[in-house]
Structure 1
Amino acid sequence: MTIWVPVNEGGEAPRPAGRPTAAVVRGGSVRLFRLSAGDRLTVRDPEGRQPAYLYLFGADGAFRGLPTLPAPPLPAVLDGILGNEPARAAAEAASGEPVGVSLFGDGAASGSAVTLEAETAALCAIVVPGVAMQPHEQDAPTDIVVETVPAVPRTGEVPPPLANAVVLDLRIDAATAGAYRVKAGDYIQIIDVDGRQCSDFLAFDAAALAEGEEFDLDATTTRTLMGKSFSGPGLHSKYFDRRMRPLLEVVQDTVGRHDTFLLACTAKYYEDMGYPGHSNCTENFNHCLDAYGIKPRTGWPAINFFYNTFVDAHDGIGMDEPWSRPGDYVLLRALTDLVCASSSCADDIDPANGWQPTDIHVRVYDGSACNFERGSAHRMTPDAEPRLSRESGFFPRLSALTRKFEDYRGFWLPSCFSSDGPIAEYWACRERAVVMDLSALRKFEVTGPDAEDLMQRAVPRNVKKLAVGQVVYTPLCYGHGGMIDDGTIFRLGAHNFRWVCGDDYSGVWLRELAAAHDLNVWVRNSTDQLNNLAVQGPRSRDILAGLVTTPPHQPTLAELKWFRFTIGRIGEVPVVVSRTGYTGELGYEIWCHPLRAVEVWDAIMAAGAPHGLTPMGLAALDMVRIESGLVFAGYDFSDDTDPFEAGIGFTVPKEKPDAYVGKAAIERRRATPHRRLVGLDVAGNEPIGHGDCVHFGRAQIGVVTSATRSPILGKTIALARLDVSMAEIGTAVEIGKLDGQQKRIPARVVPFPHFDPEKTRVRA
């Protein structure tokens, strides 16, 4: 019999000794957990109001201290579950009728948690129910976090296989190396078992080896052809040999920081450090590759996965502990038959492996039996579970039109389209209309009796003036006045708001603010429940007017004013349509559930065909937004810049009756500004980019934040943050290239937006 014991009953239970691991069960999915006797399980609802059920297999139903509310029968719950098919199948196949309890109700406060302890080995399922959220509703299923702490420290455990097609499981013990063969098309997963352990990787063309020639991965060739310091999933994914033939491509990467410009560690390194005879990767490689007839070397150029090296501001090479955590991995696909070798780096005299070498695990999967999605890991916080780049609901249509996708804040979005390219897409936006996928925007549902109080305290805008159906653009600031993010607030009701922004952390920060002021409000992430298309351009209203139908109590598209939204349908698909955008043109955004996204895309493209509607990617979007003076996070603002320095001072009223975060600092910065965002007209045709220094004489007075070659203006333009003493209109400055001194490009301070400064087009 398995009994779960709450830790606060009968005195505090002894804390398990193992390292905690956290896993996320996505809203609308199920996940299995195997525990040993004494293991502790904490189930947490970080966003609140999310039901969660625990089902225990192989027990007779005896529990002590668990919530008494029973869960629905497991088969009934699984019928509504879409996510994590392997776990669902395993739960359905588990023997015996599971005993289920409800851990959280639909009114649970954010941060609610239940901590339990297993007295015997147990298999359990955590089920997080949820249905598709309609775009005008706010019942998004959200994530549940499950933390397990083992009673006995456990190391050397690897995560389950990514697919049931493993053809090789190879453990590389600490400070050793191993060689193995891989067939063309197969996948290679290199796993950091216990975290912070480097693994050097070699690969040779097997056919060439059979003929006595060694053609292995070449880091210099790869960096030259890819234009990247290391290859990652996406357009720059391949690794080449010196013949410029691709040997492998990166499919998935949960770390995102590796090294491709140094050797695997050598005997000489340790000798020079005073450790002659120290084990090293080069000699370990020489030993394991001897069986394949590969000649030994004194230093092996390798792809150093998980090795955290960098080039500093003074052109020196430095290193620190790896970013990788237990179970992190890189997934590669062989593009030809290969002989590969992987090491567990032997370095224990510096931070390279966190000072303690541990194991590396290699899995090879049959490529004919599996097809893995591409993606890099994104973590909202350093200790969060990695989430790979994902596709929006529009991806099936987008991928038929282009292969040029980039990872934009965790979503695969098109850079441009094969039929036209960025310049043609740009002109379509200015002269006709374009449609683009902006589903990477983060959405948060802010609900509850104190929702208005939270938003009023969080932003400089006076949210109390916001009417139902209205949208307002605003910054979100820290207490020192620096910006967390910018975004738009939709008012859906008296106590209902939707915050649309660029950064996942905005939701965490809003929840922390609510807790600090004891506000009765929930902030729940609805990003995966709302995908959105932007239809922008002079003909956007004509395209959508006959397509969007609204009920009598909602505005029609013709009645919709700037920064307002309406609720309606496109065909039979529920949508929210807002008159907003990021182009400086008349335009709209259409919000729908991802499961209906293809229907919305098809309807808009059909309606837009007579008007010359064109898909537009991120490259053209960058041109139009810079021309229109629209700022971009990480470029035009950061936590080091206040709204005035970001050029959006209009969002900060001089008088707001209520306090808001950063108010005192922002008022002080308003009174004594140091920097100002300005426009620059740039002479000549030299390329200008983000981060280029701006000079007056020898002194640097600022930095370029964004720049582009404007097709409609026929010149290079930029946004730049300058010292206020040099920010007057007409001031002649220079943009520094190379080191800022050896090459200068003349420029002149001008007002911005550079194009349509009165925004007559967006108000059309």
Structure 2
Amino acid sequence: MLIRPPISSRPAEPALFARTAGRERYRVAGGGFTVVALAPGDTLQIVDIEGRQPCELMAFDTQGKAALAALELQASADASFIASLLHNGPSSPVLTGLLKRGVSASARQPAAAIWSGDTPAGFARNLVAAEALLVIAAAPGVASAIDSQNPPTDLRLTIDRANPALLAAPPLSAPLADALNDFTIHPGTATAYTVRAGEYIQVLDVAGRQCSDFVAFDLAALDRNEELDLDQTVTRTLNGNAYPAPGLFSKFFNRRMQPMLEVVRDTVGRHDSFALACAARYYESQGYFGHSNCSDNMSRALAAFNVAPRPGWPAINFFFNTGINAHQQMTLDEPWSRPGDYVLMRALTDLVCVSSSCPDDIDPANGWNPTDIQIRVYPNKERFSIAMATRTTPDAEPVLTRESGFHAKTSALTRHFTDYRGWWLPTHYEGFGTVEEYFGCRERVAMMDLSALRKFEIIGPDAEALLQYCLTRDVRRLAVGQVVYSAMCYPHGGMLDDGTLLRLGPDNFRWICGEDYAGVWLREQAAALGMKVWIKSASDQIHNLSIQGPLSRELLKEMVWTPSTQPALESLGWFRFLVGRLDDYEGCPIMVSRTGYTGELGYELWCHPQDAERVWDRLWSAGQPLGMVPLGLNALDMLRVEAGLIFAGYEFTDETDPFEAGIGFSVPLKTKTDDFIGRDALLARSAHPRHKLVGLELDGNEPAHHGDCVHGQHNARAQIGVVTSGVRSPILGKNIALCRIDIAHAEPGTRVQIGKIDGHQKRIDAQVVAPIFYDPDKSRVRA
């Protein structure tokens, strides 16, 4: 008889590195610095994540005196970056904080250059503190020219404590500003507190994976003996959500439809937006009688404000990871929140609030181990950017939603923004509107902020070899000054991303795509192959505008100056680029590529963020006589679907190969003789295709939407495809869609039906056509 050994659960949980006892990790942003405290015997590891990033360091003892020797370091004569940052102004908040700790970081304080030269990606150095120290670590870097390829990038600090605390909890993160109120809620308790209109409430998950329920009351109504609290139904209805779903609403309302709270920041992105806080009945139903619960705890905390107790409180369930499965049942798992994650809200009226630290230890709701919640209240004089957080990988540091260098200009024209892959981009513009923006691009000229595109500098002697292996295109055929569109695939043939590759020199490339992970992927492949190449993130150093429309050349030719070594704007060929200046020799540096995403004649203009407003103003002023319009994402979607251009998450995912996504032309299997990632899988997939991207023209005026099922005609029951994108085409006067369909039904002229409701009770007749609806021979874009 086979005796089975015990089985243990060991899931991979890379996001929980900060729960490791005695280990802390910090980010040093490229071009910035971070301050950390070390105790005697602590080990500080500094990692150059992407390579070729200098590191500078200052150290101070408990008396505020320079103490580099305590880390066995010596001062470097050319290490002046930290001093210049600290003394960039008399009101530097970091300098003020250092002064409070007895540190006078003057321009004469010694600093050490930790390394120099072309460090490889992942290069690290360990330093051990001989005494208690305050350390300033910096990633030096300055604004670089548009054709420069050495942007400042992040460093990572890891501290291994020689004497870790007995409780394996990460250190409490620093406040966002000076707090009016700052207190800890321990597991199995709740605390009530008042917040005035305009003040900010930060709910912080100290150790990660800990739920916190939140309820708020109108303070003035309580003074009238009226309980006016957050209302679930009103909040969902006014936010356009009929059913509860994971996430947070932008605003929360009471039953009189008055707004009470607005969400300013969320570093997690996954919450149960509005269900009941855990109650006694939940635990009793599972046999845990008398178990502490959030609802009873909240009732006790609210008693001081004469609020009647309730057996179950409708609450905003921060960090509670719930979902609705395919059977419309609620599911739960361990929270997504990492140590230090938070939600920041702003009170829209005077409130009485109550927050809990959930005691649930009988299921995954709190990672089976309830921990502390920290509450901080900030004054209304503070101003915090509205943001969510994104992470390139599960264990990456969170990056809040960013504003491009053009944001001051776009925000003056519209309040309608969306978080597009970690950047705020306009959806449409007031005074114009989606349809006007669309026709402005088709008939005249339009300008759009597309700074959210990711940019990576690939440099070094093995740059071409790496890209030849990681992209589907034949990179060896790409000349300096040329651009090529390519797919980037996984070994199984599914697409990681698509993008454009620019060749700036023999060993210098710039990859422009939509996916942050592309940089990580390229570095992983380079390391596995032992290549001498660097992949540097440049998205923060290069911002860009898309100038599209039949008058785009007329607009740009008057303001783009090029030296004799570069082509003039008028002669710039399709999928070529130039490096020049705005207006004349003394103008700010810019790069212009003849590329776009609209199907029209168009260009993309690239500049450093510090020059962005100047570039916008010049273009906007010169564009007015030509009828220029600003272009938002909604109009862009109409333009790109008409042109048959694909979009990540719609026409392709990591399960979709380039042939299924409609870009088989980017995979030259017959002419590219070098091996590349996914080649074998793509050979097999191309020989036996299952799906094809086609266009659909719909009968009537009802639209198709992403995710709609597609069936054969005559009410056929079997699903044969799925709509990837659908729009109403203003210029064609009909509803159109892109569709991934079974190869047997992909012939143009085939009649199909698009399913609505449940896919069977309502069908829209449609006809298969080519996936390029507008200017199929691309005569306009090539003009």
- TM-score > 0.5, shorter chain as reference: yes
Classify 1:380/1:694 alpha carbon distance in 2 versus 1 (closer, same or farther; 3 Å). Answer: same
Give 1:549's aligned residue: 561
Give 1:407's aligned residue: 419
Q: CA deviation at 1:685?
A: 2.1
Alpha-carbon distance between aligned partners in 2 of 1:80 and 1:729, rounded to the nearest angstrom: 67
Alpha-carbon distance between aligned partners in 1 of 2:394 and 2:347, rounded to the nearest angstrom: 31
Give 1:275's aligned residue: 288
2:85 matches 1:78? yes
Across the two proteins, how many residue pairs are aligned to each other?
A: 744
Q: Deviations over 1:23-49 (max 9, x none)?
A: 211111111001223332221111100
Give 2:734's aligned residue: 715
2:129 matches 1:118? yes
CA contact (8 A) 1:240 1:246 kept: yes
CA contact (8 A) 2:71 2:127 kept: no
Give 2:21's aligned residue: 18
Classify 1:627/1:29 alpha carbon distance in 2 versus 1 (closer, same or farther; 3 Å). Answer: same
Alpha-carbon distance between aligned partners in 2 of 1:85 and 1:127, rounded to the nearest angstrom: 16
Question: With structure 1 as the length reference, what TM-score do the two structures score?
Answer: 0.95
Give 1:749's aligned residue: 768
Q: CA deviation at 1:17?
A: 7.1
2:302 matches 1:293? no
Give 1:4's aligned residue: none
Q: Deviations over 1:731-756 (max 9, x none)?
A: 11111122222222111111120111
Matches of residues 302-701 of structure 1 in structure 2 within 5 Å? 302-368=315-381, 370-571=382-583, 572-653=587-668, 654-696=670-712, 697-701=716-720
Aligned-partner SS, 1:424:
helix
Q: Deviations over 1:616-675 (max 9, x none)?
A: 100000000000000000111011011000100011112212111111111111111111
Give 2:56's aligned residue: 53
Alpha-carbon distance between aligned partners in 1 of 2:170 and 2:551, rounded to the nearest angstrom: 60
Q: Which amino acid aligns with 1:304?
A: N
Classify 1:750/1:60 alpha carbon distance in 2 versus 1 (closer, same or farther; 3 Å). Answer: closer
CA contact (8 A) 1:53 1:71 kept: no
Q: CA deviation at 1:163?
A: 1.0
Alpha-carbon distance between aligned partners in 2 of 1:494 and 1:308, rounded to the nearest angstrom: 49
Give 2:120's aligned residue: 109
Classify 1:326/1:465 alpha carbon distance in 2 versus 1 (closer, same or farther; 3 Å). Answer: same
CA contact (8 A) 2:542 2:608 kept: yes
Give 1:5's aligned residue: none
| Worse overlay, 71-80 or 559-568 | 71-80
Give 2:34's aligned residue: 31
Classify 1:747/1:253 alpha carbon distance in 2 versus 1 (closer, same or farther; 3 Å). Answer: same
Classify 1:397/1:101 alpha carbon distance in 2 versus 1 (closer, same or farther; 3 Å). Answer: same
2:104 matches 1:95? yes
Q: CA deviation at 1:518?
A: 1.1
Classify 1:648/1:417 alpha carbon distance in 2 versus 1 (closer, same or farther; 3 Å). Answer: same
2:778 matches 1:763? no
Q: Which amino acid aligns with 2:104?
A: S
Q: CA deviation at 1:63?
A: 4.5
Q: Deviations over 1:218-275 (max 9, x none)?
A: 1221121112557978xx5111111111000000100011112420001100000101
Q: Which amino acid aligns with 2:85?
A: L
Q: Identity percentage over the alignment? A: 55
Aligned-partner SS, 2:546:
strand
Give 2:218's match in structure 1, choosing from 195, 205, 208. Answer: 205
Q: Which amino acid aligns with 1:313?
A: A
CA contact (8 A) 1:29 1:81 kept: no
Give 2:5's aligned residue: none
| Worse overlay, 565-574 or 91-100 | 91-100
Classify 1:266/1:71 alpha carbon distance in 2 versus 1 (closer, same or farther; 3 Å). Answer: farther
Give 1:62's aligned residue: 69
Question: With structure 2 as the length reference, what TM-score do the two structures score?
Answer: 0.92
Alpha-carbon distance between aligned partners in 1 of 2:429 and 2:25, rounded to the nearest angstrom: 39
Alpha-carbon distance between aligned partners in 2 of 1:261 and 1:738, rounded to the nearest angstrom: 26
CA contact (8 A) 1:426 1:620 kept: yes
Alpha-carbon distance between aligned partners in 2 of 1:716 and 1:664, rounded to the nearest angstrom: 38
Classify 1:549/1:74 alpha carbon distance in 2 versus 1 (closer, same or farther; 3 Å). Answer: closer
Q: CA deviation at 1:684?
A: 2.1
Q: Which ranges in structure 2 are unaligned for 5 or more consecutive residues? A: 1-18
Aligned-partner SS, 1:94:
coil
Alpha-carbon distance between aligned partners in 2 of 1:160 and 1:460, rounded to the nearest angstrom: 46
Aligned-partner SS, 2:314:
coil
CA contact (8 A) 1:74 1:98 kept: no
Q: Which amino acid aligns with 1:508?
A: V
CA contact (8 A) 1:309 1:319 kept: yes
Please report the RMSD computed on the Cα atoms of aligned residues, expressed in angstroms. 1.9
Q: Deviations over 1:524-578 (max 9, x none)?
A: 0000000000010000000111111111110011010000000111141110000
Give 1:40's aligned residue: 43
Give 1:8's aligned residue: none
Classify 1:520/1:729 alpha carbon distance in 2 versus 1 (closer, same or farther; 3 Å). Answer: same
Q: CA deviation at 1:175?
A: 1.0
Classify 1:126/1:91 alpha carbon distance in 2 versus 1 (closer, same or farther; 3 Å). Answer: farther
Q: CA deviation at 1:118?
A: 2.3
Classify 1:500/1:356 alpha carbon distance in 2 versus 1 (closer, same or farther; 3 Å). Answer: same
Q: CA deviation at 1:65?
A: 5.6
Classify 1:316/1:205 alpha carbon distance in 2 versus 1 (closer, same or farther; 3 Å). Answer: same
Q: Deviations over 1:424-458 (max 9, x none)?
A: 10010100110000000000001111111111111
